[in-house]
Structures are given as C-alpha cells and as structure tokens.
Chain A
Amino acid sequence: MDGIVSITDMSFSYRDWLSSRADALCPPVLSHVDLALEDGSMTLILAPPDAGKTTLARILAGLIPKYMDGALSGTVMVDGHDLSKTEPWELVHCCGYVSQNPLDELIAPTCEDEIAFPLESLGMPRYEIIRHVRAALEAWGLVSMREASAQELSGGERKRLLLAVQDAVDPKVWILDESFDDLDVSWRERLMDRISSRSNTSVVFGSRYLDEFHGTFDRYGLLAGGRLSFGDEADIALEFERLCETPYAASASKSVPGFIPVSDAAGCGRSVMPLHVMEREGKEHRLSCTDVSAVHMRRSMVQERPFTLSVPRFSLLGGEVVSLCGPNGSGKSTFSRLLCGLDLPLAGTFSLDDDVASRTVLNRSVGYLFQNPDYQIFLPTVKEELAWSLKRAKIPQREIDRRVGECADLFHLDLDETPSTMSFGLRKSLQAATYYLLDRPFYILDELDSALTYATAFDLVNLLRHNGAGILLITHDRRFADALADRNYTISDGLLSEAEEGA
C-alpha cells in the first residue's frame, strides 16, 4: 500500500567507530522495517529505550545516514520523495521533525528568529512570516519570550519552541520524537489537540503517557529488537509493557539487599509496590530550607518583572521521596540549583540536620541529576565515566573495579561503550549510575523520567535510594509522582509550597 510515508524492507546499522576498518558496522538497529502511512493518519510507535526510535525518526526526516554514518538499505519514500536521492532542505514542506533533545536543534538567537528561519528559507513574504510567527508564538505560549534566547528557556519551553517552529511551517508529516516529555499536562493536552485537529500525518514516538494516548491514534506500532510491528492498541500496549518489565529490576533484586523490584510499573496508573529502602547507618538526615527567595532576569530581553521564586518552607528527610511539580518555566530547576548549592539565594537559609549548610556542604550532600545528561557525562567510555569520582576519592583500583562492575550490572551498562553514541535513555541511566556510586544522602532528579519508560524510571529511583537517600523528584507526570512520592510540593506563581494531601 502506498501512502504519504512508505518504507520497504529498510535496515540500518551505524558505523562501528571502535573498529579500525572504515566499513565496519555495528549490529543493525533497524532490521527489515516496513511501514506505510496514509495521508492524514495518526500513528503512535511505542518503543523501549535504545530500541531505535530516534534513528527511525531521523531516517524519516532525511537526516540519517547523511549526518550519522551507517549503512541504510531498502526504500524510504516521504510524500513522493525517495529519501536516498533527496536533500534534507527539500523536505521542509513535507516532513517536520521535533527531536527529543531540543537544545540540539535550536539555531537562532531568539524565539521569533527560530520560528522565522524556515519560513525565510521557503521565501515566504515578510508579512506572511510575521503572521505565522505571531500565530505560532501565541499557540505555544511564547509571546512573552519572543525575544528571549533559547538558552534561557526551561526544558519544556524549548520543546514548545520546537513545536511552534513545526506549527509555523506546518509540514504534511509531523515526526514527534518523545515530544510529550518535558511538557506539563496542559501543554501535552494542547499538543494532542493540535495533532488530532489537523489533517497532517503524525508519527509520534513514545514510551510513556499511554493513558493519555488512549484511543487517540489510528494505528499503534511497536519497535523492538529492530523490528516494527503493528496491531491492536491493547495488544501493542501489553507487549510494550511486557518488554518494559525492565532489565534493571531483575538484576537489582539480586544485587542490592533490600531492593524490591517494582512490578507492574510500566502502566504507572495501577498499583505499584512500595519502595523498600535500606536504612542508612547513623542518624536520619534532614535537608530543609526556610524563607528562601531567588530572583533572576533573562538577559536577552527587557522584562517588566523579573522571575521570582519564594520558598517559605521545604524539607526532605532521608529515605523519603518528595515530588515537585509545576508548569514549564515555573522555577523547578532554579530551586534545584539552590538546594544543591550551585546558586546562592537572595535570602533565606538551607539546613542539613538542623545546622546551617554552606554551599560546599550542600554540594557534597545533594546529588543533582541535570535535565540534560550530556552535561554530566564526559569521558570516552562508560567504565571511565563511572570510575572518575571514585578515583578522585583515592579509592584503591581493585575496589574501584569491583564497584564499577557491580554498578554497570545494576544499570545494565556496557563498560566499553562510548557514552556519546548511546541512546538518550541509556545516557540518563549512566548519569544516574555515576551518582549511585557517589552515595549521596540526597538526590534531586530533574525530570529523570523524561524519555524513559515508567519501569526504567521507577527502577532508577529505586536504585538511587538503595541506601536510604532522600529523593526530590521533579516531574511533569502527576501520576508518576503520586505513585512514588510520600509528599508533594508544587510551584505556582513563583511560590513553592507543600500540596495538600489528596490535592
């Protein structure tokens, strides 16, 4: 069946950079994939981490193999273009791609320039560009940030900016790679409305929010083991959940005393076993702050009011999981930076075990897993990455090897792999693994669950609190937070406060 998108017997393998031979290839990421999409159809493709979602999305956008070496066989046609003979710029009108990591894709100095760039490329008259830019900014809530640099936006705002670009160009085929992640619930709903209300063809690659997707799409596919299969929504979801019954849990339960795997976690909405935690030796730690406030300006634009954050009271005990939810750009990451001592507050104090904590004390006590794992991964192999902190702590080499080996097993990481070529989800696992070895009494997980399946995210949280650590879980996923957290905090209108139970 020929449609707007047609893939026939397509296979792809990345070049093996560790081999001395130039033509050496890694095992295939995608194998004999067939796909035909009707014009105007909406397709959801579920895939566990590292299954090749981003690879398939980029192949459809005409970016692979041009920008990532590898061998592509078979035929890929989009809107009548044979992608083996088509340059990416020829696809602007027919194929739009929103990547998982928005910072990679942003090129212009301001939000409005970002939206205008492809329209300028298409030679659209200026008055039309102005109209499209204005409409896209309004549709994605970016009017007040039109002159802001994307570097100064939050993760969710950047994702909205990419969607605004897509909306302005309005290509025939929308390829959305985990685009619902990083968005708060109102923007997820807006995105869902957007893709269901237009006649464009949409391909959504996802691994979470299955309940929110329920009944919306025409077709449901599963990408696993390099193969793409389609079926009934319930069957695909069931198979996906089976696949996501996580490699972590099985090994973790064997290796970490006190660890109980989270069963049935993939759907998140159902019963979740309580997390069991080993008691930390010594007294229970308590991290708290009172009357903290912070102010900052976006330097790229003139603001009438600076961004302010006020935290009258906050506390986190060892062993508990506390969630922090709030809309995009509400100040979750700002608070995280204050809590781990990276930034200084305008006023207020932080305390550890009821003693005032200096920045250095906070740095040493609170592990902060950034939203973007690439800022925390820097060495050529997983082994070196995991061993770095231990070496700095002058631990004997044999002990380092033992701990690193155990940690790699727990997190299912290949010690010889190159982090920069690993999938986004695996890079997040590596990021968590490095902090696991640091054994901090507190961790801040800044949207750790983004781009991960529920089961994987549950297990990473479980592993990180194996030794009684307190966890501050920042997430846009209310259900995920409710399933894990003992208490909840929210940020609204610049005020961080504890949510009422059941609210």
Chain B
Amino acid sequence: MTTDTYVAGTGVLYRFDPRAKLLLMVLLCIWFFLPVSLAGAWLVVLGVIAAGVLSVGLRRMFRTFLTILPMLAFMILFIPFNVRSGEPLLVAGPVVLATREGLLQTLRLMSRFVGVTFVCALTIQSTPMGKIMLALRWYGLPYKASLVVSLAFRFIPFIADSFSQIKDSHRLRDPNIDEGKGRKGYRSKLGDMLPTLTSALVVSLRAVPSLAMSLEHRGFGLPGKRTSYHVLETSWRLFTDLFISTMIPVALWFLFAVR
C-alpha cells in the first residue's frame, strides 16, 4: 500500500510551491474548456508535455500517454462517425463517414482530454504526496478527506505495481509463454490476462483490511488535533508562485481566445 506516482527530481517544477501548483493545475484544466483556438489548445498541450519531458523525463510522459491511448483510439474511431452533418471528408457510397466538423470536434475533445491528463499527471508526478495533502489542507479540505485523496492516488499505482509483479510471476509459471505470440485473437489475449487480473484483484482486496488495520494501529482515529511532520512555508515565494500560477492561464487566454 505504499507506492505513489511521485518521480524525484530537481527541476523548476519541483521548486514550485505545491499550493501554487494545485492552483495552476485547476486553472489550466478550466482553460482547456474555454473558447480558445484549436491550434492554441494543442500548443498548450505540447507546452505541458515539453515541461513534463524536461521535469520527469520522456519515458514517464510516454507511459502516461500509453495509459490514455485506448481512450484516444475510441475518440478517433467514434466521434467523427457521430458528427456527420457538415462538409464531407470521407464518403462511402451514400454514407458520410467523416466530416470536417466531426474532425474538428474530435481534435478539440482530444486536446482537452490529453491536456487535462498531462496537467494532472505532471502535478502528481512532480509533487510528493505528503505535500499535496498539505496543500489540499491549506485550501480548507479536512484532514480525513485529504487522506482519502492521498490514499486513492497511492492505491491506483499499488494495483499497477501488483499487476506487474503478478504478470511476471505468471510469465514464469505459464508453460505456453510466448506461444503463438502475435497470432492470438483478442479473446485469447484477454483469457491469458485473466489469471493476472484475478490475482491483482485478490491482492488489492487483501490490502483493504490491512490498510484499515494499519491506519488505526498507527493512531488514526485518536481524538485531538494531529500535528504535521511536513509544513509548507508561507513567504513571499508563495505569493510569487500563486501570482505566476494565475498569470499563466490568463496570458494563455489573451493569446489564444477565440474572438
């Protein structure tokens, strides 16, 4: 129950105050839903990805991309087909398969989805979970609620880690390993994944009472105010970082707003 998504580093993003980083994250997420030009939206997406590559590395950014790849594939496959009024781009006999409007809508939705995903991922990957909790509490979230958020963020990668360990284990136990690799159908591939998924589920479910047991055994539930090992300093630096966090989306709005 221990891993989190934080990737250690020393870049600018790591030095940015977590409270300001959370604010910037929320404002940028909102910004993607404002009426901004499509080119502007994609430029910002590229900017976020570039900042991510510089901070947490290309590999980590690529892994984030891989997690959303299936969703992007669904978007590309189904959204254009759903918007068939407008200037036709792809026609099969009497059926309009894709239109210019459908394509633009797909690109718009994809920019929002990719943008929001990378902004959130980058925030979480460049900020220790303890500091995210403190920032959330600074914004007024009760301790228990911030703990739930923190545990939720840790639980997802825990399952991912367990999945990977279990997959390795089954790789060693499976006598048909790599047999027919590349020739298997989806049903067969899914069938092969079933034991791993089942094990990951068992490990995850076992972790739930262990987590509760451990929390209570470490005094979670005691009456009285909890103290905090980590603190977030309040200084001019915080003011500057909050100002930068506010100004970035505002500047982007002035640059790319549709007028």
Q: Can you name the residue of chain A whose Cβ is closest to the Cβ of B218?
A: A118
Chain B contact-residue range equals 35 or more
Chain B, Cβ-Cβ closest to A343: B168
- Chain A residues with Cβ below 8 Å from B4 are 109, 149, 300
Q: Decide yes or no whether A92 CB sits under 8 A from chain B.
A: yes
Note all chain B residues with C-beta closer than 8 A to A376. 166, 169, 173
| Shortest Cβ distance from residue B89 to the other chain A in the assembled complex, whole angstroms | 44
CB contact under 8 A between A368 and B222, given known A88-B216, A302-B9: no
Question: Is the C-beta of B161 less than 8 angstroms from some C-beta in chain A?
Answer: yes
CB contacts (< 8 Å) of B40 on chain A: these are none
Closest A residue to B3 by beta carbon equals: A151
Instruction: Check B1 against A68 for contact (C-beta < 8 Å).
Output: no
- Provide the B206-234 mask, 1 if CB < 8 A to any CB of A, else 0: 11011111111111111011111111000
Which residues of A (104-152) have their CB < 8 Å from a CB of B?
A: 104-110, 112-114, 116-126, 129-130, 133, 147, 149-152
- Cβ of A375 and Cβ of B218 under 8 Å apart? no
- The one of B166, B172, B214, B227 in contact with A124, judged by C-beta atoms closer than 8 angstroms, is B227
Measured CB to CB, the closest approach of chain A to B229, in angstroms, equals 4
A112 to B221, CA, bound (A): 21
Q: Which residue of A lies closest to B215 (CB)?
A: A107
- A374, B203: Cβ atoms closer than 8 Å: yes
Q: Which residue of B lies closest to A437 (CB)?
A: B173
Instruction: Assess A104 versus B214: contact at CB under 8 Å? Given A130-B229, A302-B8.
Output: yes
Q: What's the minimum C-beta distance from A20 to chain B, rounded to whole angstroms?
A: 21
Residues on the B chain within 8 Å of A113, using CB: 130, 229-230
Within 8 Å by CB of B222, from A90, A114, A151, A388, lies A90
Contact A89:B172 (CB < 8 A) given known A109-B128, A120-B227: no
Assembled-state Cα–Cα distance A66/B29 (Å): 43
Q: Could you give, for residues 85-96 of chain A, a 1 whenever the CB lies within 8 Å of some chain B CB and a 0 otherwise?
A: 001111110000
Residues of chain B within 8 A (CB-CB) of A122 are 219, 222
| Complex-state Cα separation, A375 to B7, whole angstroms | 25
Contact A116 B229 (CB under 8 A): yes
B119 within 8 A of A: no
Contacts of A485 in B (CB 8 A): none
Contact in complex: A105, B222 (CB < 8 Å): no
- Residues of A within 8 Å of B216, CB to CB, are 63, 87-89
B85: CB under 8 A from chain A?
no
B8 x A147 contact (CB < 8 A): yes
Q: How far is the CA of A360 from the CA of B175 in the complex (A)?
A: 11
Residue of B at shortest CB range from A438? B173
A398: CB under 8 A from chain B? no
- Are A110 and B130 closer than 8 Å at their CB atoms? yes
The answer to whether B8 touches A117, judged by C-beta atoms less than 8 angstroms apart, is no
Q: Complex formed: what's the CA distance from A320 to B82 in Å?
A: 66
B67 contacts the other chain (Cβ, under 8 Å)?
no
Among B8, B165, B166: residue with most chain A CB under 10 A = B8
Cβ-closest chain A residue relative to B195: A378
A363-384, CB under 8 A of B: which get 1 and which 0? 1101110101011111100000
Contact A370/B8 with A90-B222, A120-B229 known, Cβ cut-off 8 Å: no
Chain A residues in 8 Å Cβ range of B214: 104-107
Collect the chain B residues with CB atoms within 8 Å of residue A68's CB. 209
- What's the Cα separation between A87 and B222 when bound, in Å? 9
A147–B8 CA distance with the chains assembled, in angstroms: 9
- Known A-B contacts A375-B199, A376-B173; the reply to A109 vs B2 at CB < 8 A is yes
- The answer to whether A22 has its CB under 8 Å from any CB of chain B is no
- Complex Cα distance, B3 from A62, in Å, reads 27
**A109 contacts B213, CB within 8 Å?**
no
Contact residues in B for A66 (Cβ distance below 8 Å):
213
A271 in the interface, Cβ–Cβ < 8 Å? no
* Binary contact track B8-22/A, C-beta < 8 Å → 1, others 0: 111000000000000
1/0 contact string of A20-55 vs chain B (CB within 8 Å) = 000000000000000000000000000000000000
Using A67-B213, A126-B227 as known contacts, say yes or no to A378 and B166 having CB atoms under 8 A apart: yes
With A123-B226, A147-B8: A103-B219 Cβ-Cβ less than 8 Å = no
Pick the most buried of A88, A133, A298, A363: most chain B CB atoms within 10 A of its CB. A88
Does A393 count as interface, using CB distance less than 8 angstroms? yes
Residue among B2, B218, B221, B229 with most chain A CB within 10 A: B2
B175 contact set on A, CB distance < 8 A: 364, 389, 392-393, 438
Across-interface contacts of A397 in B (CB, < 8 A): none
Q: Is A255 an interface residue (CB 8 A)?
A: no
Tell whether B144 is near chain A: CB-to-CB under 8 Å: no
How distant is the Cα of A299 from the Cα of B161 in the complex, in angstroms? 13
- State whether B169 touches A63 (Cβ < 8 A): no
Enumerate chain A residues within 8 angstroms of B228, measured Cβ to Cβ: 120, 126
Residue A422 CB within 8 A of the other chain: no
Given contacts A67-B209, A367-B172, 10 further A-B contacts (CB under 8 A): A67-B213, A89-B218, A107-B215, A112-B229, A123-B225, A151-B161, A375-B162, A375-B166, A376-B169, A377-B199
Q: List 24 A-B contacts (CB under 8 A).
A: A61-B217, A66-B213, A67-B212, A67-B213, A89-B220, A103-B2, A104-B214, A106-B2, A108-B2, A109-B130, A126-B227, A147-B8, A149-B2, A149-B3, A337-B168, A340-B172, A364-B175, A374-B206, A375-B168, A375-B199, A376-B169, A378-B202, A389-B175, A435-B173
Interface residues of B (CB under 8 A from A): 1-4, 6-10, 128-130, 150-151, 154, 158, 161-162, 165-166, 168-169, 171-178, 195-196, 198-199, 202-203, 206-207, 209-222, 224-231
Footprint of B on A, CB under 8 Å? 61-63, 66-68, 87-92, 97, 103-110, 112-114, 116-126, 129-130, 133, 147, 149-152, 165, 298-302, 337, 340, 342, 360, 363-364, 366-368, 370, 372, 374-379, 388-389, 392-393, 420, 434-435, 438
